[in-house]
Amino acid sequence: MAEAGTLQDAFIDELKDTYDGEKQITKALPKMAKTATTPKLRAAFETHLRETEGQIKRLERVFNLMDEKPKGKHCDGLAGIIEEGKNVMGEDFDETTMDACLIASAQRVEHYEMAAYGTLIAWAKAMGLEDAADLLQQNLDEEKATDEKLTALAEGGINQEAADAARPDEDEEEEEEEVVAARPTARGAAKRASR
């Protein structure tokens, strides 16, 4: 009978999964940057692409610390999240709404990564792998900072702009109703009566 796997085996598995996930993200981010309209959002995606490339290098160092060859194992979870993001990019949204949707997709990715790194760090520490834990912590810090930056962009204007973009028609209608209400015509009376 084969020997039962250890936490170290599970750690290497998670590491491979995360390594593959980061590689998937380096393919997705350029498309997201290209789709983004708000310059700060585009810049955030471009910055995170460079960070992600650095994260891959750190993961390779963790593999080396474990005497393992860096190797990926298909990360189905991130593949699903990225696939959903692609579907959203195919939708016909106005520019700022698309930016709000890109942020929503990107934050799902960051939270998934934060969960993965949180586990990897906790396991590394439990096994006394402090050097590995330090490298993984640097990746986690970047994911957290990216998540916060995306929240700041969404709440600092993009969401409101997207909400306002849907309103010009509504404003016109309201103005029209006000004009109608000011002139007590038959049409206005009928409209008021119908409210």
Identity of the residue, 13 or 94, whose beta carbon is nearer to Fe ion in the bound complex: 13
Is the Cβ–Cβ distance between 114 and 147 less than 8 Å? yes
Does residue 105 belong to the site contacting Fe ion (CB under 5 A)? no
For Fe ion, what does the binding mask look like between residues 108 and 127, x meaning CB under 5 A? -----x--------------
Binding footprint of Fe ion, residue count (CB under 5 A) = 5
184-190 CB contacts, 8 Å cutoff, 24+ apart: none
Nearest distance, CB of residue 41 and Fe ion, angstroms:
15
Is the Cβ–Cβ distance between 33 and 42 less than 8 Å? yes
For Fe ion, what does the binding mask look like between residues 127 and 146, x meaning CB under 5 A? ----------------x---
Question: Which pair of structure tokens corresponds to residue 122?
Answer: 């906790």
Q: How many CB atoms lie within 10 A of CB 15?
A: 25
Identity of the residue, 48 or 123, whose beta carbon is nearer to Fe ion in the bound complex: 48
Identity of the residue, 38 or 55, whose beta carbon is nearer to Fe ion in the bound complex: 55
Dihedral through CA 176, CA 182, CA 184, CA 186, nearest 10? 0
Report the site for Fe ion in 11-40 (rule: CB under 5 A): 22
Binding-site member from 18, 24, 38, 55 for Fe ion (CB under 5 A): 55
Q: Find, among 112, 10, 117, 22, the residue nearest to 66 by Cα.
A: 10
Give the binding site for Fe ion (CB under 5 A): 22, 52, 55, 113, 143
